[in-house]
Each structure stands twice: as structure tokens, then as C-alpha cells.
Structure 1
Amino acid sequence: MTDVFDVIVVGSGGGALTAAHLAAKAGLSVAVVEKTDLLGGTSAYSGGACWLPGSAVQQRAGNPDSTESARRYLEALLDGRAKDKVEAFLGHAPELVDALEADDGFAFEWLPFPEYFDAPGRVPGGRSIQPVKIRRDALPVEVAGLVRPPVESDRAGTAGRRTLTGGQALIGRLLAMIVRDGGTVRTGHRVTALLTDGDRVAGVRAETAAGPVELRARRGVLLASGGFEGDQVQRDQHGVPGRAAWTMAPSGTNTGEPIRAAEAIGAATDLLDQGWFCPGPVQPDGRGSFALGVRGGLIVDTTGSRYANECLPYDRFGRQMAAAPERIPSWFVFDSREGGRLPAIAMPEGDPEAHLAAGTWVRAATVPALAAAIGVDPARLTATVDRFNGFAAAGVDEDFGRGADEYDGFFAGETRSLTPLDAPPYYAARFVLSDLGTKGGLVTDANGQVLRADGTAIDGLYATGNTTASVMGPVYPAPGVPLGTAMVFASLAVRHLCAATDGGDPGTADRLPGPPALSVGGEDRRAPGSR
């Protein structure tokens, strides 16, 4: 089976659907090709923060953000290797926000969330924005049913919430606009190869339950299907810390086929050992989770020693975990101040009793007994807890400065970030190094074009998000950077492919006739309310 579209978008996260929406609104025929039976990937699990500096949304909120301050912030953190792409990102971010909000189907709001480094240009309260929530019943029925549920619901096989917030709101809103404007969505399509016409990419080959299919693209293919975090072989090959079993990517996703397909036609890659890391309590089934917002307790390595400020932003703490083998696993030690619940945000946290039964959490009446139960030297752990309690009493963490930064107190309040452990019984939760995805992949230019090793662009091939080598390199500057950069370069790719053909007039595209369609397992269906 072969179908023809103007643009094929591989993947269905925030970057992918931004591209599909903008292309469809420009009058192009668009196919979104998704490997699984639900849309949104890790984007749907996220809080939906989008780091898009200098926009009207921050201005409306009275936030002291600006493009120039964001430039100073990034200059202080990045090594300057991708300066042209950073400038493209900064220049286009407010334009993208304007373009999205020009549609009645989309709206942003400012999201208070501190940035991750105390560096010049940092904005108090952060400059991240998020899509406004939307009720599920405000979306077309078939659209609402395709949005991937939150991680805790998705892993349990239960339905999502009635109101979509954060990443779910982002996916739901974008998908509804795509379908409204004539887009096609194909689920159950695992892209395995790129079709070429000479040196130009002209489509994709995908495996489906009904057999192989080919989808042809008149104007271009955009790869936005995530990284390879779900494939342990590739993680080992490239030296990515952590394990595939611990990643936050939905089950069965993000195993890197589109990246390998691009490599097969000469695409260059970079940053393949990098990820967006996070600590998280290992679940009773062995899977990882995502933790942030520590408001009590302390984290120790297998010797019973602290090694970092537990309130660090999650990627920064994850990199501390990865720096020494005795830190994976770590133990999050806490007391009963919160009734035996984890004094942090974890998604999913899991049921404490199930954790205790599985041994992923341990409970004991005293700190020495807790140490013995987790195989840590009791004297060392007792000394660590006593020293931390002394810091809590004094209000100053002399070892790692916990509580000194704006981020440290955001989730717990400045005083609660240093809370003593003195309310037995005591608990220890086994923490591992999880991730929100790999961040190394295809090398792209400022237009989102995929490049060869010699720096030339592969005609007709674009990429964004975790399919690419991140414009931020190994740094995670602020909440919403993964989504914000994915969305901006998706938009720049659509702008480039529109301008590169038909004299820059996308209205002259030879579009497919007929209604917009959703396709589950390869069978197209007319979407409710389509026009």
C-alpha cells in the first residue's frame, strides 16, 4: 500500500504535532505516523512546560523575561558550538508562540517553575509557559481517545483524567487542530526505512499489523519520534548511563529505528552518550520513575554517604548519580513525618505497601536497623543522618548547600528543604538513574534539516526533538527546554520546507482530496466534526 502526502511527520510528541499542525494549517496534506496505538509519547507524560523565551505570554503575566536575558543565560551555560542554532531558537520562539495562539484551539499561560542554574539572565520564578488545560469532552471523541494517559494511568492500563493538563493538554490541543485542518494520523506504523529519489528523501517505509506500507512525501519527511532510550543494546553501544528498564518512555517506544534509518542514508549523529536524566524510586516491577521536589529526607550511596544536594534539579542530580558506580542504586532515607509517604514528587510513586512487600522500600525502627536492612554500614549511615540533622538545626547545609538556591525551596518552602530525620519509623527507598529520553541523535542545522558528516543537508529530510543531537548539548538549562526546542525546530523545519518549494507558497501544494482521517492500525476513519 502506498499513499502520498505533502509532509510526513514520524512521531507524535510535542515537536511532531507542532510541525503537523503548522503544515496542515498552511494547506499542506500531512500524515502523522506513530509506532504505538496512542499519541503523545513522553510529551504526554510531562508537565507540559515549554521553555519559549521572549513571548507575549510572559509579558501578559508581568514576568521579567526577554530574548536578551535568555541569550545571556544560555551563553553562561553552553559552550557556543551551536550558536547559530541557539540564535535561531531564540529568534523564533516568540514567533511560534504567536502562531500557536493565533488559533482559537490553542492558548498558553505562564507556569512558575525556577530555572535550573544560578547564572546571568536567570528569571526569578522562571520563564516557562504551558498550554491551558482542556476538558476531554471538549475534544472530538476519537481525538480524546488517542491521547496517551498520564504515566501512572498508562502503566496501570487505566483511562486518563477527564481534564487534560500539562503535556496531555499540549497533545490534545495540537491533535484536535491537526484533524480539524485535514491532517491524517496513522497509528501502529513502525518506520524502518526512508525512501529516496536520488539524493532526496521521498517518504518512509513502515511495518504494520497488516504488513509493510510505503508513504510518499512530496515535500519532506520530519523525524520527531524520540530517541533510543528504550533499547538497551544501543544504550550500551553509546555509553548512555542508566538502563532501558528505568526510562520514562512509554513501553515499546523510542527504540531508535528512525535514527538508524537516517544513518543508513548518510546522516551524521552526535551526543549519543547523552540523556535528560533524573533520579527515581525503582518500582516493584523493576521499572523506573521520575522524582523531583525533594522536601525532606536525604539520599545516600551504597556506602551510606551523601554525595550531592538532594534538591538539585533532576538532571543535575541524575548526573551526580551517574558520576560514580556506588551511586546506582542510591537510597532515599526518610522518616515518618508524612505518614510513610515519600517526601518528594514521584511519577509514579507506587503504593508504599507494595514497595515494602517487594523490598524496593525498607522500614525499620532505628537508623542502624535501617542501614543493616539495606546493606549499608550502620555507623556510617548513622553519622550521615546525625550530621544532616545538625545542618537542619543550624539551617545551613555545610556540605552541599541544600536550601540556598531558589529551586531548592520551590516545592517545599525554604525552611522545609532542611528538615531533620527524627520521626521513626525510618524508611529507605531504592533509587535508580532514570531518564526522560536520550538527547543525542541526528545532526541538524538551524532549519531543522538533517546533515551529512560533511555538513551538507539531505534534501527532504528534517528532524527535531530527541531524534536529534540537542541544541543544548549536555546541559538541561530550565524546565520545558526539551519541549520548547523540539517545537521551535519543528516550526522552523515546516517554514523551510514550505519556502523550499513552489516559490515559498504552500497554498499551491497538490493536496489530497477528501476528509481528514484518523487511522488506527492502518485503517483510516473520518474524524467527528471534520471538514
Structure 2
Amino acid sequence: MTQTQQYDVVVVGSGGGAMTGALLAARAGLRTVVVEKTDKLGGTSAYSGGACWLPGSDVQQRAGVTADSTDSARTYLGAILEDPDPDRVEAFLTHSPELVAELEAAGLPFEWIAFSEYYDAPGRVSMGRSIQPLNIKRDELTAEVTDRLRPPVERDRVGEGGRRTLSGGQALIARLGALYVAAGGEFRTNLPVTGLVTAGPDGTGRVTGVAAMSPEGPVVLEASRGVLVAAGGFEGNAALREARGVPGDVAWTMAPRDTNTGEPIDAAIAIGAAADFGGVGWFCPGLEQPDGGGSFTLGFRSGLMVDQHGRRYANECLPYDRFGRLMAAAPERIPSWFIFDSREGGRLPAIGIPEGDLEEHLTAGTWVRADTLEELAAATGLPAATLVEQVERFNTFAEKGVDEDFGRGEDEYDTFFAGGTGPNTALTPCDQPPYLAARFVLSDLGTKGGLVTDQAGRVLREDGAPIPGLYASSNSAASVFGSVYPGPGAPLGSAMVFASLAVRDMLEG
């Protein structure tokens, strides 16, 4: 027997966008429920650094980042986006500072963080305009949220719990969740959505709720104002990845394992929603782990990346999505090998989340160590002559301070994580044996294609008409940025804005 429960708003998912929408709906007096497929709250957002790309707010001005404004962000996006929807872009820009002000007034404080934006283009702000929630102790928040908060990725993957101090994405989800509970919001976990409920018998009427499957049996959660689908993408579904042209592998995604398999998106498509998968994904080079998984990696301080022919193919210090897209551009780049020396004691000269244990890597063959480059080449299957030539050429660039092949160190982002002492801080010689090679695959932070929405977050049909009662945000919706990743926190910032705009439309409807 199907149980039916009544709400004003049903939010599918519990990441940053979903929780923002749920909080604002609950604070507006709407009876709201968050429906989460797993037993943990936060999704990939809980793994994230918590940066939010929300231009033009008071947070940046308080920090003295006066170059940030809605106008400068408009100029920046105008220079880098490819065939954007101007109405959606303008809605994002206009609402970003309004949303930040509303969240801070609700009790979610933010601070500016220095983190360079990803393109050298007009309107770019030096050292970035991203903001993040303030850290908070776990015991300062309600246990109803913190007991179900998904731990950081390096702990979650090995079955460990979270830390006492919540920072980044942990702080974002926990703070939003605690405020949501205080406003009267409800969580339903372990409740995968199986479909959307519509008013019309032919599936073309207003969306009135969601069908789900609880451990006790089928459930219908009715939504008098609307359903917000903000449940991530389909990066955990190998068949959908292949069908929609997303490179990489389910094993390499940074999404929590056994999640984000695309059912809510497909449920909307089944009732006539339009979809756009052209944005493909939010990519990054992935440090391959002994268990076959991938680890989000950024901030290379030294070393060089080579393809299976032993050749460099890009500036290793590029922003991670841009580097990932170059990895995906040629089959010989997956996997790649990252070549580095022992100047950091055998540690990866980059930020690997998680990095993994050196000895476990060496045993599994995901890392190789050798006294000479020729021996390293033999152990990795790379052509020795080419590898030696490429390393020597790279070392020459480091000595001169100029990367003649790919311009490493010429952009602000290149030097943000660098710590070299030579003429170019992003170029450090690879000349201190023993040498190491780490295998890299193409990871992602999630797929980027999804349901087509308008400037109010309403899901559209193929003819452009909105489906009444249905809204989408986060990676469940096609990104407002298309195939471009503007800067740190763009996925979270856009998810939060369009979730907020969706709730605003529900209130006005």
C-alpha cells in the first residue's frame, strides 16, 4: 500500500543547492521536506572546499575586494562563456548578492577566500571573488544534522566519521541544515525517488509530488507549491555517461560512491522535460588510487605530466577543469603519468584529495619509483628516450624561468600554489632522484548536463514552455555556464542561486 504525505515543497537531494532552496522555503513558512537517496546528507557538496562563486556581495566588499562587483562579473562572464542564455546569466548575477545577504541574515556567515579565478579575461578579480562559510564546531549545531552529515571524502571512503571542526563544504551543509531544522524543515533519508507525480493522467499536467521507495514500501510525497530537483547528475551511471558522451569512468568520479545515478533527471525527461548535456562535466585530473578510484588533484608545485608516449601536452598548473578537458581530448592521455622527484620526500607535489599511502601506491603500481629516468620509463612502459628528453627540456625551462611549450607560470593561477625558488616559481627542476611517477586518470566533480531551465529555475519542455510545479538546480540542471568553469565555487554558487530563484517563483505562484 502506498503511503501519501503532504507538503508544500519537496526538495530532491541534499547538496548545497538543495539545502539552500529547502532553507528558504521553510523560512518562508512552507512545509518543506528534503528527500535524500542515501543515509547521509550533503552529497558531493559535503566533499567540496565550500567555495561559492557569488559575485557582487557585501562579503567581498567587507574584505576590501573592491574590484568585485556585479558589473565586473558580468564583463568576465561575457568574455568567457560560449553561447550563453542571457536571461539566466543575468538572473544569476542579479540574485547572487541578494542571496548572500538573505543567507547571512538567516545566520549563515561568509568570508572571502583568496583563490584565483580560472581565466585571464576582462572583469577577472585578482586573487578571486569566491566566498565560503565560516568554520564551526560540530557540537554547536543540531545533532539531527551533524549525525547524518557525510564526512570528508578521505574519511568517507574508508568508513570513518567526520571531524569536530567543520569547514568548507562540511560547514556549508551543516549550517544550512541546522538553520533548516530550526525553521521547521524535515529530512527523509534512505528514500530514493522513483518518479514524478503529475495531475494529468497522460503525464502532461502539473507536477504535484514525487514517488519514492522507502524501506517499508512505496511513498508519494505531495507538493502543493512545487518540486525542486537538485539531486546531482548522473556521474555514477556508466550507461548514461556513455550514452551522453561523458568521458571518464564511474570509478573515477568524485561523487560519493553508489550515488548520483540520474533517476530524478530521467523522471523529468519521462514527463516531457527538455535536457541539454552539452556542458558534459566538471573535470579534473584524478590521481588514481590503489582501489581503482580517482582523487581530485590540483595545485601542482613541481613535476610534469606526460601522456603514454612520454610527452607533455599541457601546462600542468592550469585550472583543473581546463586541464581535465585537455586530458579528455586525446586517448593517449588517459591514463597519464605525472613525473616528479624526491625533493618533497616522496610526497606528491600537489594537493591530492585524498592522496593515499605511498607504500600502498607502490605495491599497487599506481606509483612507480626508480633511481633513474630510464628505469622509471621501463617500469611505466614509457619510451625512455622521449621521457628523458622531455624531463631535460622541462629542466631547461625551469633554469631559464620560461616554459616555451605551454607557458606555465605566466598566469596568476599558475603561481597561486607554487613554491619554487627559481626565476619562475611555477617551474622547479625535476632532478633529485629517486624519481617517481604517479598514474593519473580523468576524474570529475560531477556531470554538468541536465534539465533545461529558465531564469526562475523552472524546468522547460522541448517547446520552451515551463512544466508547472517542477524546478531544477545543481547538476540536475544544465549549467548556466555551459562548458565553462569560471572560478572556484561556480558549481555551488550557481546551484544555490537557482534553487533560491525556484523558491521565489513558488512563493509568487
Task: Please give the TM-score of this superposition, normalised by the length of structure 1.
Answer: 0.93
Q: Which residue does 1:434 correspond to in 2?
A: 443
Task: Give the match for residue 17 of structure 1.
Answer: 19
Structure 1 counterpart of 2:85, from 82, 87, 99: 82
Which residue is 1:254 aligned to? 260
SS at match of 2:431: coil
Q: Is 2:459 aligned against 1:450?
A: yes
Match among 15, 39, 43 for residue 45 of structure 2: 43
Structure 2 CA distance for aligned equivalents of residues 81 and 175 of structure 1: 32
- In 2, distance between residues paired with 1:176 and 1:215? 22
Kept in 1, the 8 Å contact 2:303–2:338? The answer is yes
User: What residue number does 2:477 align with?
Assistant: 468
Match of 1:509 in 2: none
Among candidates 110, 133, 137, match of residue 112 of structure 2? 110
1:122 alignment partner, SS class: coil
Aligned to 2:123: 121
Q: Decide which of 35, 42, 56 is 1:54's aligned counterpart.
A: 56
Residue 244 of structure 1 corresponds to 250
Alignment partners' CA distance in 2, 1:49 and 1:300: 30
Contact map agreement 2:84 2:481 (CA 8 A) in 1: no
Distance 2:84 2:141 in 1: 42
Q: Distance in 1 between the 2:363 and 2:432 partners?
A: 22
**Structure 2: 5+ residue runs without aligned partners?**
none
The offset of 1:416, in angstroms, is 3.5
Contact 1:238 1:273 in 2 (8 A): no
Task: Identify unmatched segments of 5+ residues in structure 1.
Answer: 501-531
Q: Is the 8 A contact 1:272 1:440 kept in 2?
A: yes
- Displacement after TM superposition at 1:93 (Å): 0.3
State the distance in 2 between where 1:147 and 1:411 align: 30
Letter in 2 for 1:495: R
Partner Cα distance (2:61, 2:474) in 1: 26
Question: How many angstroms apart in 2 are the aligned matches of 1:282 and 1:73?
Answer: 34
Q: Contact (CA 8 Å) 1:240, 1:273: kept in 2 or not?
A: no
Q: 1:174: which partner in 2?
A: 176
1: CA distance between counterparts of 2:193 and 2:363?
41
Structure 1 letter corresponding to 2:372:
T
Alignment map for 1:126-145 (pairs within 5 Å) = 126-145=128-147
- Do the aligned partners of 1:271 and 1:473 also contact (CA within 8 Å) in 2? no
Q: Which moved more, 1:428-437 or 1:77-86?
A: 77-86
- 1:498 and 2:498 correspond: no
Say whether the 8 Å CA contact 2:278–2:483 is kept in structure 1: no
Whole-angstrom distance in 2 between the partners of 1:81 and 1:133: 35
Instruction: Choose which of 185, 188, 197 in structure 1 pairs with 2:187.
Output: 185
Q: How far apart, CA to CA, are the structure 1 residues paired with 2:418 and 2:303?
A: 12
1:72 maps onto 2:75 in alignment: yes
How far off its partner does 1:272 sit?
Answer: 5.0
Describe the superposition over 1:292-333 as per-residue Cα deviations: whole angstroms up to 9, x where unpaired. Answer: 000010000000000000000000000000000000000000
- Displaced runs of 4+ in structure 1, greater than 4 A? none
User: Are residue 418 (structure 1) and residue 457 (structure 2) matched?
Assistant: no
The alpha carbon displacement at 1:209 in A equals 1.9
* Contact 1:362-1:370 within 8 A present in 2 as well: yes
3-state SS of paired residue (1:299): strand
2:392 is the alignment partner of 1:386: yes
* Counterpart residue type for residue 146 of structure 2: A
C-alpha displacement of 1:142: 2.3
RMSD: 0.8
* AA of the residue aligned to 2:447: T
- Name the counterpart of 1:159: 161
Amino acid of the structure 2 residue aligned with 1:208: S
Would the aligned equivalents of 1:240 and 1:272 in 2 still touch at CA under 8 Å? no
Deviation sequence 1:239-293 (CA, Å, 0-9, x none): 1010111000001110000000000000000025600000011100001110000
In 2, Cα distance between the equivalents of 1:417 and 1:157?
Answer: 36
Q: 2:101 is matched with which residue? A: 98
- Is the CA contact (8 Å cut-off) linking 2:109 and 2:134 kept in structure 1? yes
SS at match of 1:470: coil
Give the secondary-structure state (helix, strand or coil) at the position aligned to 1:336: coil
Native 8 Å contact 1:239 1:273 kept in 2: no
Native 8 Å contact 2:48 2:168 kept in 1: yes
**Structure 2 CA distance, aligned partners of 1:279 and 1:118?**
21
**Structure 1 residue 343 corresponds to structure 2 residue 346:** no
- 1:31: how far off? 0.3
Look up the match of 2:213: 207
Residue identity matched to 1:376: L
Q: Which SS does the other structure have where 1:403 is aligned?
A: coil
- Please state whether the residue corresponding to 1:146 is helix, strand or coil: coil
Distance between the aligned counterparts of 1:39 and 1:486, measured in 2?
Answer: 16
| Residue type at the aligned position of 2:50 | G
Kept in 1, the 8 Å contact 2:54–2:493? The answer is yes
CA distance in 1, matches of 2:35, 2:56: 32
